[in-house]
Amino acid sequence: MSTYAPPLQRLITELSKLPGVGGRTAQRLAFHLLRASEEDATALAEAIREVKEKIGFCEICFNLAEGPRCRICEDERRDPDLICVVEEPVDVISIERTHEFRGRYHVLGGALSPIDGIDPEDLRIEPLYARVRAGSVREIVIATNPTTTGEATALHIAAGLRAIAPELTVTRLASGLPVGADLEYADELTLGRAFAGRRAL
């Protein structure tokens, strides 16, 4: 039986459902909110409610959007013929921070993982193929994570794209040694990738 009053226990339970938040952290956060001013606690509750009400997915690329289209798809300066494929909306933010990519995006909503029951039809792969069929896309940059599931997803998408648009350029983000790393500390897979992705100076 819980030693806390039911409303407090409910708050702790809900907070502990957040990723990376265990029981102890949830308890600390709950007590912090209890000590917070009425205005601060209400502002947090309002922000959560507002984001659930107003934020959805872009009808074109499935990035997060307030309205039918995201800011990137609405930006006329972005190249619509260059599409970067990512797993999640958070990956869009990471790539945008580099200021290197001037095209548009396609968010899959995850990566293939048959062991977890995530098959191609569970991801937004078909809408990507539809974008390629419908327009003048010249290059697809596959920027899925360099994990087993990310690699499997990249290979699956590349094969599908080759089948529907053989002339399309399909590229994969380079992977290998991070800047500032020492060779002696690199694992074989990372070093192998760095060799495979080497380029002329």
- Number of domains the chain contains: 1
Q: State how far the Cα of 107 lies from the Cα of 38, in Å rounded to an integer.
A: 38
CATH number of the domain residue 169 falls in: 3.40.1360.10
Tokens for 157, please give them: 């998408």
Whole-angstrom distance, CA of residue 110 vs CA of residue 124:
9
Q: Which of 28, 1, 20 is nearest to 11 (CA)?
A: 28
Residue 45 lies in a domain: no
Q: Is residue 189 part of a domain?
A: no
Distance CA 19, CA 47 (A): 18
pLDDT, one tens digit per residue, over 77-118 is 999 999 999 999 999 999 999 999 999 999 999 999 988 889
Q: Is 155 within the bounds of a domain?
A: yes
| Residue 50 placed within a domain | no
Q: Is residue 22 part of a domain?
A: no
What distance in Å separates the CA atoms of residue 196 and residue 33, rounded to the nearest whole number?
Answer: 51
The answer to the question of residue 168 being in a domain is yes
Q: Does position 1 have pLDDT exceeding 70, yes or no? A: no
DSSP-assigned letter for residue 66 = S
Q: What is the pLDDT of residues 17-52, one digit of tens each?
A: 999 999 999 999 999 999 999 999 999 999 999 999
Query: Which residues form the domain of 112?
Result: 78-173
* Angle formed by the axes of helices 125-134 and 148-164, nearest 10°: 30
Residue 94 lies in a domain: yes
pLDDT of residue 15: 95
Asked, for residue 82, whether it belongs to a domain, the answer is: yes
- Residue appearing with tokens 């959805």: 56
